[in-house]
């Protein structure tokens, strides 16, 4: 297909010169418009001559590939509104290093705006439909009736306000006092909102009549709530074991519920700290002199020595020396 080159003397395509956008040729700034069947075909031929794919042009212009294909196919139905389509054509022309104004002018000429308002031909008259005539008459009659009813009601209200209200007066001689003994019935019960509410007992407080629980009972209940295994039960690994990686008969602290565990020395140095999930454990090293552990929930951590449970911890801070290590 012939090219409408005009005054252009050089048309650099991919492979014939330097890459598009590089300053290799002084004539690279020349604008080229192919003389195709339409502007979409011309843009497609220039794009293919420069070795660019639709996806590459879409990446350069930030336009959807489907819109690029619609412009090349002159498929106006697949494009958005006309202002957006003109903007896409301009961006496409600039990406191909073409004269954007000339390309847009050709696009407008080939795809005129069909939805623009057209002037009424000479001799054509617009007759209003007559089907709304009866409806307008009915609406006007209803409006007049409504206004008349409001005026009449307002006049009646004013007449009633101007006339004095007649009150029947009973002579005092006709009023007879009550005779006999007046008895009062039983008093009614107070309404529900006036009854005395039940005293509120905060959670954790014991009733005055119940005996106080011993510390051992409280610890046993806390251990039961934490699902702690009974004393003497064997150690069962149910999660990751931190601390000393060497298995042995030493001390193991296993969490039955999620809680924090921190191991520190006598001088305050921290050797281990973590939030243990249920089943996770920490194995103490062979030498634990001077070490102690701080736990968030003592009843949720059970101590095992030589693989046998010694029961849950009792205090938030526990010295490891009491387990014979």
| Banded pLDDT at 24 (limits 50, 70, 90) | very low
The 10s digit of each residue's pLDDT in 27-53 is: 333 344 545 578 888 899 999 999 999
The 10s digit of each residue's pLDDT in 44-103 is: 999 999 999 999 999 999 999 999 999 999 888 888 888 999 999 999 999 999 999 999
Element (H, E) at 273: strand 270-276
Q: Are 96 and 45 in contact (CB under 8 A)?
A: no
What single-letter DSSP state applies at residue 316?
S
Element (H, E) at 121: none
How far apart are the C-alpha atoms of 85 and 71, rounded to whole Å? 8
Share the mean pLDDT of the chain.
74
What single-letter DSSP state applies at residue 77?
G
The 10s digit of each residue's pLDDT in 241-283 is: 898 777 777 788 888 888 898 887 877 788 788 898 888 988 8
Architecture of domain 3-110: Orthogonal Bundle (1.10)
Give me 2's structure tokens.
């012939």
At 301, is the secondary structure helix, strand, or coil? strand
In the chain, domain spans:
3-110, 224-323
Looking at 35-44, 99-108, 185-194, 216-225, which range is the least confident one? 216-225
Q: Angle 305-306-312 (CA atoms, 0-180°, nearest 5)?
A: 25
Residue (of 296, 305, 281) closest to 231 by Cα position: 305
């Amino acid at each position: 297909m012939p090219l409408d080159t005009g005054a252009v003397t050089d048309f650099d395509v991919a492979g014939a010169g330097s890459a598009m956008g590089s300053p290799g040729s002084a004539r690279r700034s020349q604008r080229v418009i192919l003389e195709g069947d339409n502007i979409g075909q011309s843009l497609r031929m220039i794009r293919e001559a420069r070795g660019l794919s639709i996806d590459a042009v879409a990446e350069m212009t930030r336009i959807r590939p489907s819109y690029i294909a619609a412009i090349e196919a002159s498929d106006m139905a697949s494009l958005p509104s006309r202002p957006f389509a003109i903007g896409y054509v301009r961006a496409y022309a600039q990406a191909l290093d073409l004269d954007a104004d000339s390309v847009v002018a050709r696009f407008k000429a080939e795809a005129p705006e069909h939805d623009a308002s057209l002037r009424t031909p000479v001799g054509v008259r617009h007759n209003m439909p007559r089907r709304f005539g009866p409806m307008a008459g009915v609406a006007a009659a209803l409006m007049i009736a409504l206004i008349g009813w409001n005026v009449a009601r307002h006049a009646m209200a004013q007449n009633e306000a101007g006339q004095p209200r007649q009150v029947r007066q009973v002579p005092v001689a006709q009023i007879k006092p009550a005779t006999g003994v007046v008895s009062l019935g039983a008093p009614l019960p107070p309404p529900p909102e006036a009854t005395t509410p039940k005293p509120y007992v905060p959670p954790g407080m014991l009733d005055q009549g119940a005996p106080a629980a011993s510390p051992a009972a409280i610890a046993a209940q806390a251990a039961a709530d934490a699902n702690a295994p009974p004393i003497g039960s064997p150690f069962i690994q149910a999660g990751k074991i931190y601390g000393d990686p060497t298995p042995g008969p030493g001390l193991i602290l296993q969490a039955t519920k999620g809680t924090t565990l921190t191991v520190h020395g006598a001088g305050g140095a921290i050797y281990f700290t973590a939030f243990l999930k249920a089943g996770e454990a920490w194995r103490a090293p062979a030498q634990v002199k001077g070490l102690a552990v701080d736990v968030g929930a003592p009843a949720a951590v059970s101590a095992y020595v030589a693989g046998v449970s010694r029961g849950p911890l009792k205090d938030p801070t526990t010295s490891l020396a009491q387990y014979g290590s």
